[in-house]
């Protein structure tokens, strides 16, 4: 008997209903390449093409047409089963949730989330795993309940935006750049940089921004993630680009200064949470997602450290 991967069930339903790889990928929040890979796996499993080209469109094979009602019924039964836990009392459970998050999300989101959980669900625990080890697609949700990460990465599943942040420059408070009445991108590029990286082939938003602006910084130090960067630049001539919410929290107690960009040069990053579509109505997962949303609505209101009065901008003509 062939091993069945139930994570492919939503993919199969979308493909049979929409008969289009691109639209099916949009429905289940996957990239088109990931959906194409899922279709290939489904074809091997059923030993049938399922979708065949008919002019500019796709049509279902005879087997796929006969399969569609069974898939609809299977999805409905799974959804009914997922809703059987009709009650979840956070104050009376000792459940352990697993949350995948970067060092950035852990610092900004998980710390206040832990405070909220302590108040309203004292016996609940949350295990944190790194998003760097998460495989794309729905398979990851066999090990984690929710993923918190940036939009644009192929985490798969359903998602909701949490908050918007922007990158700032962080440098030692004695850095000579801070004595200038004007700071430009050229000044920034001339300084040695410490860069946060996230694995082969991943271009971070600040590096992409600088490349698009025609600026090539000298990277003198590379580290995994962004969290260590404010500590690394302290006492050195290094400059690092870090998300503002992370920088202002970590700068407290360090001899570093946070410098913003002018609005025209803003480097945005949008964080979101991702979960398996079949867990959308699960009471426990819903409570966890609502708790994450609650702390994210409040993080911008937290008191943070001072910002340097001069912003990084374009040179005056």
Same domain, 133 and 190: no
pLDDT digits (tens, 9 = 90+) for 5-53: 778 888 888 898 888 888 888 888 888 888 899 899 999 888 899 999 8
pLDDT the model gives residue 85: 54
Domain edge (last residue) among 57, 82, 107: 82
240 located within any domain: yes
* Residues in the chain where the model's pLDDT stays below 50: 1
102 located within any domain: yes
Distance, in Å, from the CA atom of 197 to the CA atom of 207, rounded to the nearest integer, reads 10
Distance, in Å, from the CA atom of 78 to the CA atom of 66, rounded to the nearest integer, reads 20
CB-CB neighbours of 3 under 10 Å: 5
pLDDT the model gives residue 191: 94
Domain hosting residue 139, numbered range: 90-162+271-301
Alpha-carbon torsion 118, 124, 129, 131, what sign? negative
Residue keyed to tokens 């600040």: 206
Domain edge (last residue) among 82, 103, 120: 82
Q: Output Rg (C-alpha) for the chain, integer angstroms.
A: 23
pLDDT the model gives residue 183: 93
66 located within any domain: yes
217 located within any domain: yes
Q: Report the CATH number that the domain containing residue 114 is assigned in CATH.
A: 3.40.190.10
Same domain, 195 and 309: yes
Classified as helix, coil or strand, 40 is: helix
Instruction: Determine if the pTM surpasses 0.75.
Output: no
241 located within any domain: yes
Task: For 49, list phi and psi in degrees, rounded to 5.
Answer: -70, -25
Q: Quote the number of domains for the chain.
A: 3
Closest CA to 104 of 223, 279, 6: 223
pLDDT the model gives residue 1: 40
1 located within any domain: no
Same domain, 73 and 94: no
For residue 261, give the DSSP letter: B
Same domain, 258 and 276: no
Do the Cβ atoms of 123 and 297 come closer than 8 Å?
A: no
Same domain, 42 and 172: no
Q: Report the CATH number that the domain containing residue 211 is assigned in CATH.
A: 3.40.190.290
Measured CA to CA in angstroms, residue 43 lies from 37, 52, 72, 246 at distances of 10, 11, 18, 45
Same domain, 51 and 186: no
Task: For 3, list phi and psi in degrees, rounded to 5.
Answer: -70, 135
Same domain, 98 and 151: yes
pLDDT the model gives residue 81: 65
222 located within any domain: yes
For residue 317, give the DSSP letter: -
Determine how β-strand 146-150 pairs with β-strand 268-275. Answer: antiparallel
Do the Cβ atoms of 173 and 257 come closer than 8 Å?
A: yes
Same domain, 195 and 308: yes
Q: Report the CATH number that the domain containing residue 62 is assigned in CATH.
A: 1.10.10.10
Same domain, 258 and 291: no
Classified as helix, coil or strand, 167 is: strand
pLDDT digits (tens, 9 = 90+) for 169-180: 999 999 999 999
End-to-end CA distance of the chain: 72
């Amino acid at each position: 008997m062939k091993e069945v991967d139930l994570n492919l069930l939503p993919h199969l339903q979308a493909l049979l209903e929409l008969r289009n790889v691109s639209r099916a990928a949009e429905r289940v929040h996957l990239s088109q390449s990931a959906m194409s890979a899922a279709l290939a796996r489904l074809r091997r499993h059923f030993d049938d093409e399922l979708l065949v080209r008919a002019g500019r469109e796709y049509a279902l094979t005879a087997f796929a047409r006969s399969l569609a009602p069974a898939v609809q019924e299977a999805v409905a039964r799974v959804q009914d089963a997922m809703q059987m836990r009709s009650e979840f009392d956070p104050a009376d459970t000792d459940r352990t949730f697993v949350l995948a998050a970067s060092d950035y999300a852990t610092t900004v989101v998980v710390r206040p989330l832990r405070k909220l959980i302590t108040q309203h669900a004292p016996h609940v625990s949350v295990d944190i795993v790194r998003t760097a080890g998460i495989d794309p697609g729905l398979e990851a949700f066999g090990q984690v309940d929710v993923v918190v990460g940036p939009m644009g990465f192929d985490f798969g599943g359903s998602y909701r935006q949490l908050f918007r942040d922007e990158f700032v420059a962080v440098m030692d408070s004695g850095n000579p750049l801070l004595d200038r009445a004007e700071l430009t991108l050229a000044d920034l590029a001339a300084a040695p940089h410490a860069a946060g990286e996230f694995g082969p082939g991943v271009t971070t938003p600040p590096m992409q921004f600088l490349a698009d602006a025609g600026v090539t910084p000298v990277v003198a130090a590379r580290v995994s993630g962004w969290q260590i960067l404010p500590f690394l630049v302290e006492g050195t001539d290094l400059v690092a680009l870090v998300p503002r919410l992370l920088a202002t929290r970590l700068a407290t107690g360090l001899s570093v200064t946070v410098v913003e960009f002018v609005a025209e040069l803003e480097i945005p990053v949008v964080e979101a949470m991702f979960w398996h579509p079949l867990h959308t109505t699960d009471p426990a997962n819903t409570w966890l997602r609502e708790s994450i949303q609650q702390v994210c609505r409040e993080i911008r209101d937290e008191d943070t450290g001072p910002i340097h009065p001069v912003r990084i901008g374009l040179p005056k003509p």
